[in-house]
Structure 1
Amino acid sequence: MKNMSNRPYDVIIMGAGLAGLCQARHLMLKIPNIRIAMIDPRPENRTEKDLKLGESTVEVATLFFGKDLGLYEYLIENHPPKYGLNFHWPKRNERTKTIDDYFHIWANRQPDLASTQLNRPKFERDLLKMNREMGADFYNGRVVDIDLTPNDQLHTVKVKLPNESIELQGKHLVDAAGRRFLIGKKTNNISFDSKDLYGVNTGSAWVRVQNVDRTIFHSGYDPTGASCSHYYATNHWFGKGHWLWMIPTDIETMELSIGVIHHHDYISSESLNSKEKFYEFLKANHNILYQLVTSAENIDFHYWPRLAHTSKTLYSPDNWYVIGDSACIFDAFYSLGSTMIVSAIDSITEIIRAKLAGEVNAAEKCQAYNQFNLTLINSINLFMHNHSRHLGDASIMSWRIYFENMIWFGILIPIFVGKWHLDLEFIPQFVQTFQTTLRSLVYEIHDQFDQLVDQKKNIGLMDCYRSDQLIWDYHTPKRYTHALENAQYEPKQTSVFTSMKKTFFYLTIWYLKLQWKSGGLSQVCHHRSLGTMAKLLTTSIYIGLGDIIYSLTWNHGSESQSIAEMRQAFQEYQYGDTLQPWIVEGVDTKSLEVEAEKVPLQV
């Protein structure tokens, strides 16, 4: 075996998929001259059949890809746009042939923060090329063994290349190799037990097709309903014990991904584990999707009998890290996998940067970021709790979607916009809020939803995009600061507490409406309901105190450093009312014009 350890790498990344490639690019952008090795058994020129779960991003991930990785133009030029999330439930389960056979929650406008769909093979091909051009080394081989060492000793990775075997050594080791669980198996760090997953026990089947007839889904004509595309969104379709996604992944080839997440307590693996079975399932339960896939050319079919897993540790003091599917996955609902990935990338980069720089609080950052991200993935996992009971009930699930979107837009997005997830003082507050308020609230609401489903009670359809559902024109994407208008993207430049305090206030109003719809005045006045509302309002007031402290102690102008410097420089500006000369003395411009006329015009 050839030893390549004469010059150890700063970071070795096992896996060159979305997570590993984005991690490598971020490290190189943030840490000049860092030495990075990437290892993956797939060739650089990934085929179109190198497809996998996760072709859709949401606001946090797209903001990171565009802003922090510098990929805005690349995404616009190479990947389909995404106009929010749409949700569909059959009016009658036996009739699902057209879009009119469903109740809907449509994204009715373009969102404030963009999101995008991804053609994963193309994205990974292109990003690998970019990373190599930036200086990363790529080894097209398979990791056969790793030797993890304590503290700051070098890790060793054994790699089988096509024609030889080699050993690499690195100061930091990132497992982005997906479901191979290279570090997870080595350290007994991975768990598939549903008890550690809030009972989530899911499988997934999906197909890719191309040259689809999208008019089967929608004609595209909706002059009074929306100001954005219905097709170029992530469309969610619901039924008992399952939900399906419909994602356009390529504009030129009209490629479409359609897949199902099914809960094993309602739908068995044996009933969905082949393309033929999956198509029959669509034909019987979502006929409009069956028409879509059969109108097109099939690319491939995949089935995973077991989807959900989690990790005990994400970032070790021994300088190893797990990210992406190697760390966790629970459900593709809301496309939150990319959010967990970008949170991890930010955290891992800052830990490695601090350790390579010898900063005294590097170990503290590792511990804090591990705690934050464990809490984040735990909260995302919790939001999939009892999913199977609620998915098919349009009334109950619409209330659940509304509630979860309140948390997403009011708490999580502001955290990531302001980089609060990297702030050592804020992290314990976030963890405490989740553990003392949010977790118990989610459990209580899910229990109440269970009862309402059992009663087959219709409490109305809550539309998360409209501003006529709660008081004072509230809607879930409502913003409370001017962070986006003023491009306040520097860390802590805008107050996360403003959004959080108002979100908890509106959670109180939402909860009050839920109790009223569920059981009237007696339900509102029940001691448990009053206690929960008091707890939510108390949390809002407590966070409001944090907002006051922030406004008094944090030096936060509305402008970023670059804007401040430009405004300072502009004070010296004076308009120069002259043009610079462009005609050179002594040159016969007439002869130049004649010569120019001789050049044939290309049409």
Structure 2
Amino acid sequence: MSDYNPTLPDRTDVAILGGGLAGLTLALQLEQARPDTRIVVLERNRHPVPEAAHKVGESTVEIAAHYFGEVLGLRDHLENEQLRKYGLRFFFRAGENDDLAKAAELGAAHLLEVPSYQLDRGIFENHLGQLARQRGIDFIDAARVTGVDLAEDASSAHHIRGERDGQSFELEAAWVVDAMSRTSLLKRRLDLAEDNGHDCSAVWFRIDRRIDVDDWSDDATWQARCSDLPRWLSTNHLMGPGYWVWLIRLASGSTSVGIVFDSALHDFDALKSFDGSMAWLAEHQPRCHRATLEAGGELQDFRYLRQFSHGCRSVYSGARWALTGEAGVFLDPFYSPGSDFIAISNSYVTDLIVRDLAGESIARRARLYERSYLSFYESSLALYRGQYPLFGHFRAMSSKTIWDYAYYWGVLALLFFAGRTTDMAFIAKHGEALERLRRINGEIQTMFRRWAETEPGSHPGGVLVDQSASPLLVRLNRELTEVGAESEAAQSRRLSANAAMLHALATQLASIAPETVRDVLSSIDPALLGDEDLLAGLPPALIRPTGVESGVELSRA
């Protein structure tokens, strides 16, 4: 690709500013949906980009994996060039135990139905760039966009200015999509940035060696209980009060290590150097600190980002512009939702562009898509905002994770796998139920936070909260593989059933929480509760702990 020397056209149908993950996948999706569309992608970095240390954002979950693998047809690349992931895995109080088998663990002992992957972003984006050029997309690397003049009316074109190899260029486009991540031109130009009240920060680095959490214990029983794949193929989270540490193995052989924290509880300035981060690990996660030192190898990069989460007042416009990926909104790296929101946003943008270029008026649809997308964003933000203080609390955080998975698989992922994300009639049909679930989600997140504040933290050493032993979670994950082939009526029934299930799940999770925090759940419909035991398969240490609340054993209501 380094020998590729494209000629930049004077005019195009769609100009995508930014050729990273969001921009390149949008270009491929748009070309797939409307092959005769003229597309120019302008990327600041020169390709091929470095492997391993190119960008953060290596972990995918179900929506993104489905988008990359099935919607864009990249399954072979994911299976052959990236790493199949052993799910998300969480360890509580790992910092207090040199032997990781003595920490509480939450994750799947056995692989669930829907695959997900660890992405080496350099390898992946190089592949996307090659595909784009093979499919006739004008992917222009080493191109710095310096300005955008938006069209004054529907009959005019947008004007993009930039520089490449010391030469200035201008480009006219019917559509302009900003995929420039945090350097978004349109967000600054239109004053769209919005503080979302989620003040967390992150530091991260890559080393060219493998850090293997399976080496952190010699306990044969612990080794055997999660044996489908090595644990290092999970996105491993070391949980603590106000923070979590990620460990992600990459296909290039490197390991990504990140520390994500509530800025009010941990000092960003003390962490924003490699030495400072290592000192912090030595204090809070000494086993991880030692493993990093023992791994040796070369430090490939070190980066930091203060207050990474942000909102956006507008992302799609009937005036033929849009923002996608981090140029629009970004939530939090916990649960790895970044690529999910790229998938959802790109699907909205693709549909708007295809309809507009076919002559359809899109002004109303752009407003509906924006409202739907920002509603998904706001509902998901409740999972993170104000929640970091409870991250080290085993019972509250494990219960929260069960709810968060069920809410994600049962609603947002179901809509995407069913192909209904852009079906506004389908979403409107379920609008009242979805809005009520949004309220319940906000209420139960408050309950989890108060739970951690109220109940002394218990430490059931060595326990596994096995998601693959939960009939509920196994079913919700499996149903994602089935829903795409169903009729609209069947999909509608499934979404309604999941909504009722979430009312019941919230009630059952509240029954194992301290009684004093349950009153925040005011939006549950008692008529939807049912008789199914939705907490089946979860360990007694989570459901019926002893030594909590004055030594009284809690029982399910």
TM-score, length-scaled by structure 2: 0.86
The whole-number CA distance in structure 2 between the counterparts of 1:257 and 1:110 is 22
The whole-number CA distance in structure 2 between the counterparts of 1:464 and 1:352 is 43
**Are positions 1:508 and 2:503 aligned together?**
yes
The DSSP-based 3-state class of the residue aligned with 1:463 is strand
Q: CA deviation at 1:51?
A: 2.2
Question: Match for residue 410 of structure 2?
Answer: 410
For the 8 Å contact 2:59–2:119, the answer to whether it is kept is yes
**Are positions 1:78 and 2:81 aligned together?**
yes
For residues 59-96 of structure 1, what are the alpha-carbon distances to aligned partners after superposition, in whole Å with 9 as ceiling and x for unaligned? 111111111111111111211111211111116x5x23
**Are positions 1:223 and 2:251 aligned together?**
no
**Are positions 1:442 and 2:444 aligned together?**
no
Question: Match for residue 12 of structure 1?
Answer: 15
For the 8 Å contact 1:59–1:113, the answer to whether it is kept is yes
Question: Match for residue 375 of structure 1?
Answer: 375
Aligned positions of 1:349-498 closer than 5 A: 349-359=350-360, 362-429=362-429, 432-435=432-435, 437-457=436-456, 463=465, 465-467=467-469, 474-479=471-476, 484=481, 489=484, 493=488, 495-498=490-493
For residues 481-531 of structure 1, what are the alpha-carbon distances to aligned partners after superposition, in whole Å with 9 as ceiling and x for unaligned? 86635xx636965733333333333333333333332356x987x6x65x5
For the 8 Å contact 1:411–1:503, the answer to whether it is kept is yes
- Of 138, 142, 145, the residue aligned with 1:143 is 145
Question: Match for residue 281 of structure 1?
Answer: 280
For residues 178-222 of structure 1, what are the alpha-carbon distances to aligned partners after superposition, in whole Å with 9 as ceiling and x for unaligned? 11121100001111x2xxx2x310110001012225253467973
Shift in CA distance, 58/110, structure 1 to aligned 2, threshold 3 Å: same
Q: CA deviation at 1:169?
A: 0.7
What is the number of residues matched between the two proteins? 515
The whole-number CA distance in structure 2 between the counterparts of 1:429 and 1:246 is 41
The whole-number CA distance in structure 2 between the counterparts of 1:36 and 1:229 is 42
For residues 518-566 of structure 1, what are the alpha-carbon distances to aligned partners after superposition, in whole Å with 9 as ceiling and x for unaligned? 356x987x6x65x5432682999xxxxxxxxxxxxxxxxxxxxxxxxxx
For the 8 Å contact 1:420–1:496, the answer to whether it is kept is no
The whole-number CA distance in structure 2 between the counterparts of 1:326 and 1:28 is 21
Q: CA deviation at 1:133?
A: 1.5
Shift in CA distance, 100/324, structure 1 to aligned 2, threshold 3 Å: same
For the 8 Å contact 1:156–1:170, the answer to whether it is kept is yes
Q: CA deviation at 1:444?
A: 2.3
The whole-number CA distance in structure 1 between the counterparts of 2:247 and 2:454 is 31
Deviates more, 1:212-221 or 1:113-122: 212-221
Shift in CA distance, 260/498, structure 1 to aligned 2, threshold 3 Å: farther
TM-score, length-scaled by structure 1: 0.79
The DSSP-based 3-state class of the residue aligned with 2:424 is coil
For the 8 Å contact 1:324–1:341, the answer to whether it is kept is yes
Q: CA deviation at 1:7?
A: 5.0
Deviates more, 1:288-297 or 1:177-186: 288-297
The whole-number CA distance in structure 2 between the counterparts of 1:328 and 1:494 is 33
The DSSP-based 3-state class of the residue aligned with 1:245 is strand
User: Match of 1:533, as an amino acid?
Assistant: I
User: Match of 1:289, as an amino acid?
Assistant: C
Greater C-alpha Rg:
1
Q: CA deviation at 1:407?
A: 0.4
Shift in CA distance, 523/329, structure 1 to aligned 2, threshold 3 Å: closer
- Please, what is the CA RMSD of the aligned residues? 2.8
The DSSP-based 3-state class of the residue aligned with 1:45 is coil
Q: CA deviation at 1:42?
A: 0.7
The whole-number CA distance in structure 2 between the counterparts of 1:123 and 1:217 is 30
Structure 1 runs not aligned, ≥5 long: 469-473, 541-603
The whole-number CA distance in structure 1 between the counterparts of 2:450 and 2:37 is 55
Identical pairs, percent: 23
The DSSP-based 3-state class of the residue aligned with 1:398 is helix
User: Match of 2:16, as an amino acid?
Assistant: I
The whole-number CA distance in structure 2 between the counterparts of 1:84 and 1:166 is 45
Shift in CA distance, 246/220, structure 1 to aligned 2, threshold 3 Å: farther
User: Match of 2:276, as an amino acid?
Assistant: K
Aligned positions of 1:322-361 closer than 5 A: 322-359=323-360
Query: Which protein has greater RCO, CA pairs closer than 8 Å, 6+ apart?
Result: 2
Q: CA deviation at 1:327?
A: 0.8
Shift in CA distance, 402/189, structure 1 to aligned 2, threshold 3 Å: same
The DSSP-based 3-state class of the residue aligned with 2:264 is coil
- Of 26, 29, 37, the residue aligned with 1:26 is 29
User: Match of 1:47, as an amino acid?
Assistant: P
**Are positions 1:534 and 2:491 aligned together?**
no
For the 8 Å contact 2:382–2:445, the answer to whether it is kept is no
The whole-number CA distance in structure 1 between the counterparts of 2:310 and 2:285 is 28
Question: Match for residue 261 of structure 2?
Answer: 262
For the 8 Å contact 1:19–1:176, the answer to whether it is kept is yes
Shift in CA distance, 312/492, structure 1 to aligned 2, threshold 3 Å: farther
The whole-number CA distance in structure 2 between the counterparts of 1:405 and 1:254 is 29
Structure 2 runs not aligned, ≥5 long: 1-6, 532-557
The DSSP-based 3-state class of the residue aligned with 2:303 is strand
The DSSP-based 3-state class of the residue aligned with 2:484 is coil
Shift in CA distance, 19/60, structure 1 to aligned 2, threshold 3 Å: same
For the 8 Å contact 1:402–1:462, the answer to whether it is kept is no
Q: CA deviation at 1:228?
A: 3.5
For the 8 Å contact 1:35–1:136, the answer to whether it is kept is yes
Q: CA deviation at 1:38?
A: 0.9
